[in-house]
Amino acid sequence: MSAILDPHISLGEVKLKVSQLERSIRFYEEVVGLKALPLDEAKREASFTADGLNVLLVIEEVPNALIPPRRSHAGLYHFAILLPNRPSLSLALRHLINTGIHIGQADHLVSEALYIEDPDHNGIEIYRDRPRSEWTQDDRGNYVMASDPLDMESLLAESSGQEWSGLPAGTIIGHIHLHVGDLRTSRAFYESKLGFDVVGDYAQMSALFISAGGYHHHIGMNIWAGIGAALPPANTVGLSYFTIVFPSEESREAWLTELRAAGVATSALGEAIVLHDPSGIAIHTIVKAV
């Protein structure tokens, strides 16, 4: 029996390990358009927001950092920054073009997405959702998605005459996409224990999408790093953890009680309760600040 997961959960901050802190700060400010909060020099950490208040990203410099080949281990495929509307995505595209960075792009039918990498090859998606009324599902309940070319001309026209001033308030972490070691084991954990709904069983792509509350996906998983892919050494750049945000302490505690009864190990770290998925990926759970 799976735990009852509150349908109103969202994703919170993502923490990444990087090799050169100052270089990454410049990248996330100047290229991505996030705002850096004061640096924690002792911890060699920096936090970023879109609105000056809510932290979306934390980066930590790790000593003697290793930068592995792409798709070589379990962990981050990309984290996804969700913008509030299409004009915001249009401005982001204009800005990214001006920086000269390589930009991937796709029309996923449920969303329009841009793809870039940070200096340590951490994957980043910047996207906007289409209205839910435009999302469709097949007869198995999978959201119908694609990777069609974006209509770049139409998208750029949305911000004609406007000036870039960074990512806007209302920007959030929309989803995270993970390399895992085994899809069946991961599905059993996230669906049958954590209580997520499978909304995209894309066996032909060796990928699985899950969500709460009917979203097209909060978490994507794939085995593109190879079956049995394991976490790399601790000093490797990449994902440190991602965060699930609960709307209330009551909903988190009820969920955690069921998880513990099912044998899922948890630990406390400040206000976060931490657990790990079958690939060893760390998940922090917190309660939304009032």
- Tell me whether residue 289 is in a domain: no
- Tell me whether residue 225 is in a domain: yes
Local confidence band at 135 (pLDDT 50, 70, 90 cut-offs): very high
Residue 29 sits at φ, ψ, to 5 deg, of -80, -55
H or E element that contains 91: helix 86-99
Question: Tens digits of per-residue pLDDT, 150-174?
Answer: 999 999 999 998 999 999 999 999 9
- Tell me whether residue 79 is in a domain: yes
pLDDT (mean) for 18-28:
97
Give the predicted TM-score (pTM) of the model: 0.97
Contact 16, 240 (CB under 8 A): yes
- Tell me whether residue 1 is in a domain: no
pLDDT (mean) for 21-39:
97
> Domain with 63 in it: what CATH number?
3.10.180.10
Number of domains in the chain: 1
Residue 40 has pLDDT above 60, yes or no: yes
Domain span including residue 252: 10-282
- Tell me whether residue 5 is in a domain: no
Classify each residue of 77-103 as buried b or exposed e, where b means 16 or more C-beta atoms within 10 Å of its C-beta. Answer: bbbbbbbbebbbbbbbbbbbeeeeeeb
Compute the distance between CA of residue 62 and CA of residue 234 in angstroms, rounded to an integer: 9
Nearest Cα to Cα of residue 151 among 123, 130, 175, 125: 130
* Single-letter amino acid code for the residue at 282: A
Residue 290 has pLDDT above 80, yes or no: no
pLDDT (mean) for 58-63:
96
User: Mean pLDDT, the chain, as a whole number?
Assistant: 96
Question: Tens digits of per-residue pLDDT, 183-218?
Answer: 999 999 999 999 999 999 998 899 999 999 999 999
- Tell me whether residue 290 is in a domain: no
Local confidence band at 1 (pLDDT 50, 70, 90 cut-offs): low
Question: Tens digits of per-residue pLDDT, 227-270?
Answer: 999 999 999 999 999 999 999 999 999 999 999 999 999 999 99
Compute the distance between CA of residue 14 and CA of residue 1 in angstroms, rounded to an integer: 29
156 burial (CB, 10 Å; 0-12 / 13-18 / 19+) is middle
Beta bridge partners of 244: 11, 285
Local confidence band at 69 (pLDDT 50, 70, 90 cut-offs): confident
- Tell me whether residue 148 is in a domain: yes
Question: Tens digits of per-residue pLDDT, 75-124?
Answer: 999 999 999 999 999 999 999 999 999 999 999 999 999 999 999 999 99
Is residue 186 helix, strand or coil? helix
- Tell me whether residue 174 is in a domain: yes
